[in-house]
Amino acid sequence: MCSDAAPQASANGPGIGACRCLRSDTVTGMSNTTISVGLLGCGNVGGALVTLVAEQNEEVAARTGLDLRIARIAVHSTAKDRGLDIDPSVFTTDAAAVVDDPSIDVVVETIGGIEPARELVLTALRSGKPVITANKELLANHGAELYEAAADAGVDLLFEAAVAGAIPLMRPLRESLIGEPIGRVMGIVNGTTNYILSQMSEHGVSYEAALAEAQSLGYAERDPTADVEGYDAGAKAAIIATIAFGGRVVAGDVYHEGISSITASDINFASRLGFVVKLLAITERVGEQNGQPVVAVRVHPAMIPASHPLASVRDSFNAVFVEGGAAGELMLYGRGAGGRPTASAVFGDLIDAATNKVRGHAGSIGTLVKPVIQPIDDLVSAYYLNLEVTDEPGVLATVASIFGDHKVSIRSMEQEGMGDQARLIFITHQARERDVRATLHELGSLDSVRRIGSMMRVVGES
Amino acid sequence: MCSDAAPQASANGPGIGACRCLRSDTVTGMSNTTISVGLLGCGNVGGALVTLVAEQNEEVAARTGLDLRIARIAVHSTAKDRGLDIDPSVFTTDAAAVVDDPSIDVVVETIGGIEPARELVLTALRSGKPVITANKELLANHGAELYEAAADAGVDLLFEAAVAGAIPLMRPLRESLIGEPIGRVMGIVNGTTNYILSQMSEHGVSYEAALAEAQSLGYAERDPTADVEGYDAGAKAAIIATIAFGGRVVAGDVYHEGISSITASDINFASRLGFVVKLLAITERVGEQNGQPVVAVRVHPAMIPASHPLASVRDSFNAVFVEGGAAGELMLYGRGAGGRPTASAVFGDLIDAATNKVRGHAGSIGTLVKPVIQPIDDLVSAYYLNLEVTDEPGVLATVASIFGDHKVSIRSMEQEGMGDQARLIFITHQARERDVRATLHELGSLDSVRRIGSMMRVVGES
């Protein structure tokens, strides 16, 4: 193909690259074009990718004319037996050499973490090599720098696997919905916490018991903090917000609360009131301020109506629910993790990047602006509140008057239990978070309120 | 931009076009590029597209550098007030003139039906204009001719709106999942029948009552045949099979049964046995024959487990469930019809086609082969069977022996009702359709079997 290809003129708009030379079996039009892939890391995802490429290569070649070859693989140890059917000479411990190798057409990064992944990805992009990465941490913290490097070099930076694993989400958001007036995106994007909450909800077990089971099944790490406290979902929320709203949102912009304080009784109350508890990554466009879009982005447990499509997403599955001004409600559902599902997303990106490389162009996430991030105090939502109170006349009146003082209006209330077990369960109308917090603060100082139990946002009601 | 652009060299592989000249406000790199759109038809979808382009144009321009203009609209009558905020001079009754107009960059076809849509689309493609269409009938019957014309001309033919309305489905199948070893795709792709079945299931009403309600709400046509007998879903099944498996499948290849013979009691039995009844469009890759893929493609009512993700798709919503060998289970859910949701899908395609046009290339659905279509008789499935029988000793033994003679093995049986109301409800193990039909044929000749009630395939069990 090399001999046929002339440089493409630079066209109008961002992210358009020059035609690059690729090897072809012959110079005839319909022969296969070989794409040499440099793979960084060969763990769960990298190993599954090697297998998937071997299994599917013939069919992909027949359909697309691309002959994908994993030409070099950078690993920590070349001695380890990975059980892969691949020539051992492709392995090296020198990741930089893989990126620099002029015979490598496309780089796939499955190392994870910030460094050296960031440096390797930047070097690859700057030398005109498309990059596919599954690295949410890297994108959520250094995305803007990477997107810019890709646009400057006119090459693809694709990352379908970084959010919600095998689910086609990034491509639909980047392409199908780029013109859609998206109002809100809500996702179950952490399988570990969804498994824990599903077990609590379906089997009535405690948080601790469900976590222990998730750990024994390998769904949760020994230190589960990143999952259960919402950090993992927060990184994904930042990436979703960036792509959905075209604004540079980083992990540090995301407000987050985890699920470790959710009790079996919260889940019971939710169920009796017709709700299911899910850990949601939510991002919304809430307005404009001085010409800049105002974006809310947060992760927290939420009560959603049992009839909501997200409510039936069980076990370790992920799903992302998009509220479009024209498209209406959309939901994309599937496996959010696991070597082979994640490798599937990487593989789709790899074929896309290879196709683009052969054609001498690249996709783009378009122009990104810096949005204003809405403080959590400004959130307007309905709230579930659970107060442990002394069981005596007049308590409800006192409590209700404090709600009223803070302009938090009550939609429903019921008393649960008697005596030492007495609780008041409230669902509020739409209220501002700062007012709800002020209400709780004042309630906490009352003698008749023994303890503020849980506070959970109620979302997804139509 | 014209003055900057040099022709792009033809690259290796199908569907690669030459760079075309487009107008730009200035010749600097970051100015907006005007794309003139010729719209054929201005009904529900076309009108909603005009509105959506007006609403979103500024934001799309900021993000992509594209200034989309609906420059000409072909309609039956220019006198009709469509309530659209657009210069009346854009309307014409001469559709061919819109397609031939050299100032038109992209053609959007929302006329529907085969002719004149086919001729207009072909003319546009052959003259190097990308086409976006929502026309399932056209694609399901003449797709191969159109895909070939697009590939020959090196321009885009995009049709996200033709199947499952606003749901991003075609692009994920064409791009994200092009390398995925897809085993089966099952979709609820007809909103009218899903509404009818949901009403029957949730409110216990008859088919006739639910249909009448669907008609009064405008979900069903006065003549509902195309929806309720599965023709509409069949056209969509053919398109899905083509894209998912890279094989030329046409509407005539699709086996179909509708929902008009489903009774309230079938739905009741299904519910008691833990199933939900849905009209499914199913396509599977079932093997190979002399080097050709064997593809099954059919539309019929089916019983699916209540815990299956498709079971919770209610009302007029659509969803498509993909079983991937690497990705695992995926589901894409949303609005399958309606002017604005359908226009949303057209709009996404329009931005994609315009971006590609500016960059001088085009997407491709890849090389299509001619698959072998599996006859319905060869289907292997579990079956629900409902027999009205005389209530006397020995009937079950006689019936069971006939099942056995045909090698159809029974998984569960229960008798319902007594005397004149006696029925036997069977669920079989996996059996071949021809054996089940032969069993039913022989059972029908027994004196003790008063009537063969329903036969429904059971799918989606894990």
Q: Does B191 touch chain A (CB under 8 A)?
A: no
The 10s digit of each residue's pLDDT in B120-130 is 999 999 999 99
Residue B159 sits in the same domain as residue B181? no
Would residue B367 count as lying in a domain?
A: no
CATH number reported for the structural domain that contains residue B249 in this entry? 3.30.360.10
For residues A114-141, b (16+ Cβ closer than 10 Å) or e, as one string?
eebbbebbbbbbeeebbbbbbbbbbbbb
Q: Which of B136, B236, B278, B357 is catalytic?
A: B236
Confidence of residue A30 (pLDDT cuts 50, 70, 90): low
A366 inside domain: no
Supply the pLDDT for residue B451. 93
Q: Does the pLDDT value for residue A228 go beyond 80? A: yes
Q: Residue A293: what are its φ and ψ, rounded to 5°?
A: -70, 145
Query: A335 to chain B nearest CA, in Å?
Result: 7
Do B321 and B179 share a structural domain?
A: yes
Domain annotation covers residue B364: no
Residue B228 is which amino acid? V
- Give the rounded percent of residues in chain B with a pLDDT score beyond 70: 94
* Chain B residues with beta carbon closer than 8 angstroms to that of A9: 4-8, 19, 360
Whole-angstrom Cα distance, residue B61 to residue B54?
Answer: 11
Percent of chain A with pLDDT over 70: 94
Q: At what angle do helices B191-203 and B207-216 cross, to 10 degrees?
A: 130
Q: Are residues B148 and B189 in the same domain?
A: no
Probe site for chain A from B106, B176, B355 (most A CB atoms < 10 A): B176
Find the helix or strand (DSSP H, E) in which B332 lies: strand B328-335
Least confident range of A181-195, A239-253, B323-337, B356-370 = B356-370
Which CATH number covers residue A399? 3.30.70.260
* Domain limit, last residue, from B333, B351, B384: B333
Structural domain range at position B41: 2-166+340-359
Question: Do B16 and B63 have their domain in common?
Answer: yes
- What is the average per-residue pLDDT within A421-446? 96
Q: Which of A26, A175, A243 to mutate to test the interface with B (most CBs of B within 10 A)?
A: A175
CA-to-CA distance for B393 and B397, rounded, in angstroms? 9
Q: What is the CATH number of the domain that holds A37?
A: 3.40.50.720
Q: In a mutagenesis test of the A interface, which of B106, B202, B359, B364 is the best target, namely the one with the most A β-carbons within 10 Å?
A: B359
CA distance A41 to A88: 14
Same domain, B252 and B310: yes
pLDDT(A19) > 70: no
Two tokens, residue A186 = 């809500």
What amino acid is encoded at A230 in this protein?
G
Q: Is B371 within the bounds of a domain?
A: no
pLDDT in tens, B27-55: 334 579 999 999 999 999 999 999 999 99
DSSP conformation class of A247: B
pLDDT of B6: 36
Helices B339-359 and B44-64: crossing angle, nearest 10°?
40
B-chain residues within 8 Å CB-CB of A4? 9-12
Residues A25 and A96 in one domain: yes
Check whether residue A61 and residue A107 sit in a common domain.
Answer: yes
Residues B132 and B199 in one domain: no
Are A14 and B351 an interchain contact pair (Cβ–Cβ within 8 Å)? no
Q: Which DSSP helix (H) or strand (E) runs through A351?
A: helix A339-359
What's the pLDDT tens digit per position in A278-317?
999 999 999 999 888 999 999 999 999 999 999 999 999 9
Provide the number of structural domains found in chain A: 3
Q: What pLDDT does B360 receive?
A: 85
Q: Is B407 a residue of the active site?
A: no
In this structure, the answer to whether residues A354 and A420 fall within a common structural domain is no
Annotated catalytic residue: which of A129, A136, A236, A357? A236
* Chain segment B243-296, per-residue pLDDT in tens: 999 999 999 999 999 999 999 999 999 999 999 999 999 999 999 998 889 999
Which pLDDT score, from 0 to 100, does residue A29 have? 44
Q: Which two tokens stand for residue A343?
A: 């490798």
Q: Is B417 on the interface with A (CB under 8 A)?
A: no
Output the DSSP codes for B25-59: SSSSTTSPEEEEEEEE--SHHHHHHHHHHHHHHHH
CB contact set of A254 (below 8 Å; sequence gap of 6+): A234, A235, A237, A238, A297, A298, A299
pLDDT band of A357, cuts 50, 70, 90: very high
> Does the pLDDT at position B11 exceed 50?
no
Per-residue pLDDT for B171 more than 50? yes
Adjacent-strand bridge partners of B283: B185, B297
Residue A367, domain member (yes or no): no
pLDDT digits (tens, 9 = 90+) for B54-65: 999 999 999 999
Q: Collect all residues with Cβ–Cβ distance below 8 Å to A233 and sequence separation of at least 6.
A: A187, A189, A190, A193, A256, A279, A281, A299
Q: Is the dihedral of CA B424, B427, B428, B434 positive or negative?
A: positive
Cα gap B340→B47, rounded to integer Å: 9
Task: For A48, name the nearest residue in chain B, comparing CA atoms only.
Answer: B326
pLDDT tens-place string over residues A39-61: 999 999 999 999 999 999 999 99
Tally Cβ neighbours within 10 Å of residue B444.
11
What pLDDT is stored for residue A294 in this prediction? 96
**Residue range B329-355, pLDDT digits in tens:** 999 999 999 999 999 999 999 999 999
Q: Is the pLDDT of residue B396 over 60?
A: yes
| Mean pLDDT score, A10-22 | 36
In this prediction, residue B326 carries a pLDDT of 97
Question: Does one domain contain both B207 and B348?
Answer: no
The answer on A314 and A192 residing in a single domain is yes
The pLDDT tens digits of the residues spanning A137-180 come to: 999 999 999 999 999 999 999 999 999 999 999 999 999 999 99
Final residue of a structural domain among B325, B359, B393: B359
Answer whether A360 sits within 8 Å of B11, measured CB to CB: yes
Residue A163's SS3 state is: coil
Instruction: Please tell me the predicted confidence (pLDDT) of residue B30.
Output: 52
Is residue B21 over pLDDT 70? no
Please check whether residue A364 lies inside any domain of the structure: no
Q: Token pair of A115, please? A: 């460094």
Task: Give A-chain residues touching B164 at CB under 8 angstroms.
Answer: none
Interface contact B309-A333, CB threshold 8 A: yes
Full-prediction pTM beyond 0.80?
yes
Three-state SS at A185: strand
Closest CB to A12: pick one of B1, B10, B341: B1
Mean pLDDT for B12-35 is 49
pLDDT, averaged across chain B = 91
Q: Identify the band that residue B420 occupies on the pLDDT scale cut at 50, 70 and 90.
A: confident
Q: Is residue B366 part of a domain?
A: no
Closest in B19, B334, B347 to A328, CB measured:
B334
Average pLDDT of chain A is 91
Whether B38 is covered by a domain: the verdict is yes
One domain, residues B408 and B441:
yes
CB contact under 8 A, A168 and B177: yes
A461 phi, psi to nearest 5 deg: -80, 140
